[in-house]
Amino acid sequence: MAKRALLFGISGQDGGYLAQSLLSRGYEVHGASRDKDTTSFHGLHRLGVADKVHLHSASINDFRSVLQVIKAAAPGEIYHLAGQSSVATSFEQPIETFESIATSTINILESIRFLDPSIRFYGACSSECFGDTPPEGANESTAFKPRSPYGVAKAAAFWTTASYRRAYSLFACSGILFNHDSDLRPERFATRKIVKGVVDIHLKKSDRLTLGDVDVHRDWGWAGEYVEAMIAMLNRDTPEDFVVATGKAYSLRDFVKEAFAAVGLDWQNHVAFDPALRRPFDIGYSRGDPARAAEKLGWRASMDMRDVVRRLMDSEIAARKERT
């Protein structure tokens, strides 16, 4: 029989790529979103897998709803990718952020414990848990010092997962993923805003891109590669948590330069700065150390920031041509 997986948050960026990868491996894939009849599932359609997935409606903040969808899908593996996903929005909606990330994790783990403790669980954790990282990068032993409501919620979900693993012997683990992007990422995210703004300038629809702090450093990878680490984590003999990253950090300034260079423009002629766009409390330097993932999962990122930017730019330009 084919393996069966249930993806909470299948309508998001990672959910689309994960569904595609699992289907290519012969899995029966089930996906849950708040309302399957009104959600667009844009990513699934873009990747050509929307008609291959069994869809369910579920409210991740509601224990009964979560319990019912897990019972209906009867999965062998659960990937929890759902929740409020914007760091900036978490400062404006801290309660919603915490409930959609931390409370939902408890709901899923409790459901597993009641229904079928053999179900394997993957929880999407985040580099935001670390706050600023050491220059050499954060690994699985680096202390959490989150700087946003989003980071606090992810840290709570991480420790909840670890607690259920130890207390109830569940196969439950977390992937501590550093920044990863794709053309499936919503436009509210900074990287997509930058790419869209640069293409607008390239097409003469604008002449200025306004940004906040471009001196922050991030470890950027490609989402389609990162989901492979998630699958590898649930197909091991024992559950463990892993940092998933490229191991390279670049400034947002470097990201912007690369985007403008892709269309032959000098970024300094088109960028303005507005302090109001800065977050109340941001991370200055974020870099991951993926050595353990390479050693135990056999996973390594093949794309870094420059590759990500070029791919995002190519996709955005191609999309504009299709619309004209």
Say yes or no: 83 and 194 in one domain: no
Which CATH number goes with the domain that contains 24? 3.40.50.720
Residue-level pLDDT at 139 = 98
pTM, entire model:
0.94
Q: What is the pLDDT of residue 20?
A: 98
Q: Which residue has the higher pLDDT, 132 or 38?
A: 132
- The confidence band for 274, taking pLDDT boundaries of 50, 70 and 90, is confident
Note the pLDDT of residue 1. Answer: 74
Question: Catalytic residue among 21, 59, 126, 148, which?
Answer: 126
Q: 186 falls in which pLDDT band (50, 70, 90)?
A: confident
Q: Can you give the residue range of the structural domain that contains 54?
A: 4-180+222-244
Would you say residue 200 lies in a domain? yes
- Between 322 and 95, the more confident residue is 95
> Is the domain of 167 the same as that of 138?
yes
pLDDT bracket for residue 267 (50, 70, 90): very high
CA atoms within 13 A on the CB side of 320: 17
d(CA 19, CA 22): 5
Residues 131, 269 within the same domain: no
**Amino acid present at 92:** E
What mean pLDDT comes out for the span 170-186? 95
Residue 295 lies in a domain: no
At residue 190, the pLDDT reads: 87
Is the residue at 297 inside a domain?
Answer: no
Is the same domain home to 29 and 174?
A: yes
pLDDT at site 8: 98
Whole-number Cα distances in Å, 276 to 2, 95, 186, 273 = 51, 23, 22, 9
For residue 235, tell me if it sits in a domain: yes
Q: Is the pLDDT of residue 176 over 90?
A: yes
pLDDT at 239: 98
pLDDT at 294 over 80: yes
- Residues 49-62 have pLDDT tens digits of 999 999 999 999 99
Q: Do both 228 and 277 map to the same domain?
A: no
Are residues 67 and 137 part of one domain?
Answer: yes
Does 294 map to a domain? no
Instruction: Tell me what pLDDT residue 135 has.
Output: 95
User: Is residue 322 annotated as part of the catalytic site, yes or no?
Assistant: no
What value does the mean pLDDT of the chain take?
A: 95
With 80 as the cut, is the pLDDT of residue 280 above it? no
Q: What is the mean pLDDT of residues 156-183?
A: 97
**195 and 142: one domain?**
no
On whether residue 260 sits in a domain, the answer given is yes
Q: What share of the chain is helix, strand, coil (3-state, %, to 5)?
A: 45, 15, 40
Looking only at the bridges linking them, the beta strands covering 250-251 and 217-218 are antiparallel
Residues 226 and 175 in one domain: yes
Average pLDDT score over residue span 267-290: 87
Q: pLDDT tens, 75-103?
A: 999 999 999 988 989 999 999 999 999 99
| Start-to-end CA span in the chain (Å) | 46
What is the distance between the alpha carbons of residues 136 and 248, in angstroms, rounded to a whole number? 9
Instruction: For residue 150, indicate whether it is catalytic.
Output: yes
Grade residue 187 by pLDDT with cuts at 50, 70 and 90: confident
Given 79, 150, 164, 226, the catalytic residue: 150
Coil vs helix vs strand at 57: strand
The pLDDT-based confidence of 154 (bands split at 50, 70, 90) is very high
Same domain membership, residue 68 and residue 27? yes
- Shared domain for 99 and 129, answered yes or no, is yes
Looking at the fold, whether 63 and 11 belong to one and the same domain comes out as: yes
Question: Distances in Å between the alpha carbon of 157 and those of 112, 301, 324?
Answer: 15, 25, 44
299 in any annotated domain: no
| Residue 83 domain flag | yes
Residue 322: predicted pLDDT: 81
- Report how many domains make up the chain: 2
User: In the annotation, is 148 catalytic?
Assistant: no
Single out the catalytic residue among 128, 225, 228, 316: 128
- 236/102 same-domain check: yes
276 pLDDT band (50/70/90 cuts)? Answer: confident
